[in-house]
Every structure is written in structure tokens, then in C-alpha cells.
Amino acid sequence: MAGTETHHILPRPVFEAPVKLLIVVAPYYKDIADALLAGARAEIGAAGGDCETVEVPGALEVPTAIAIADRRSNFDGYVALGCVIRGETTHYETVCNDSSRALALMGLQGLCIGNGILTVENRDQAVVRADPEGQNKGGGAAAAALHLIALSRKWGGPRKGVGFKPPSDSLLIAGRGEGSGTA
């Protein structure tokens, strides 16, 4: 049973400049989401960070909210929180796989995301994992985001975009053939 194993936990990172995280939580199972949120906020606070929280309807919307925030805000990292409990249909697999895949893809693009979306067989498993005094998976997700932020700052430099770069103004002017008689 996972609850009886011992795990190595990395020391909390130390930051020279403040960190700001966005916690995106799907409160479909409100009591579980609240416990995850308490653990995440405590971990961010213990690292001297600041956080904002937004709620979305379900686990599938968590990655979309993070993507929107990354395009339009200035967060250093993100914490994804929620809970998916297996039901009688394949919807469980869809929600688990698609939300996890989207978060992983954004992480591969350079976002610092801690994934605290629980994927469990039953409510009892979720309660144990969410409990800040127990397995504290919300705190673990926040710690993961903080560690990724620390790595990002360690290796520094601006983030590199993926895909095509827009042409610069100088290329546009040169491309028009100014003074060459072409229009």
C-alpha cells in the first residue's frame, strides 16, 4: 500500500526573488478540492511564494485555464488541482488521460506545472491523498511547481517559443525592396 511506503522528498527550494503561482482547481468534489487547496497554499507560503486561485468546472478545464493564464498573465508557475473518481463508464479514462496529457505537453513547452489532479478508484482513496496532514498531494503538486520554477531560474534566459517567429520590421522593409523599384 502506497501509504505505508517511505519516499524521499527534496528540500524546499529557496528563491532570491519572489515567486507567484496560479492554482487552478476543479472543485467538483468540494471537500477533496478544499483539502488539496489547503496543502498547496501552505507549501507555497512556506517557500515564501504568493498565489492566486481560480476555479474551473472540471479537470478537463484545468489545462485550458493554465494555458489562458500563461498567455495573458505573469505567473512563474502553476498548480493543477482536482479529483477524478472512477465511475461506471469510460469517461474516467478520457478525463484522466486528456487532462494529464495536456498538462504534460505544456510542461514540455516550458511551463512550470505541478499536477495535483487525483485519479482514484474511490472517494476513500481521494480523501487520504488530499489530506494535508496525510499524503498531502496538493502540497506535493505545489512543491513540484516550485522545484520547476527553481530549475527555470537556475538555467535562466528568456523562454523560447515553439513554432515560427514573426518577421522583424527590418526584414519586412528589406523584403519590400525599398529603393529597388519593386512594390
Catalytic residues: 91
Phi, psi of 38 (to 5 degrees): -60, -45
pLDDT of residue 7: 82
The answer for residues whose C-beta is within 8 angstroms of residue 1's C-beta and 6 or more apart is none
User: DSSP E strands: which ranges in the chain?
Assistant: 20-25, 50-55, 77-85, 113-120
pLDDT of residue 156: 82
pLDDT of residue 99: 97
The Cα 107–Cα 49 span in angstroms is 20
Phi, psi of 37 (to 5 degrees): -65, -40
The answer for residues whose C-beta is within 8 angstroms of residue 35's C-beta and 6 or more apart is 127, 130, 131, 132, 138
Residue from 118, 112, 154, 157 nearest 29 by CA: 118
Beta-carbon count within 10 A of 81 CB: 31
Q: Mean pLDDT of residues grouped by 10 in the chain (183 residues)? A: 75 95 98 98 98 98 98 97 95 95 97 98 98 97 98 79 56 49 47
Domain range annotation of the chain:
17-175
Distances (CA, A) of 57 to 85, 91, 152: 15, 15, 30
Domain 17-175 fold is: Rossmann fold (3.40.50)
- pTM for the model stands at 0.83
The Cα 16–Cα 8 span in angstroms is 25
pLDDT of residue 43: 98
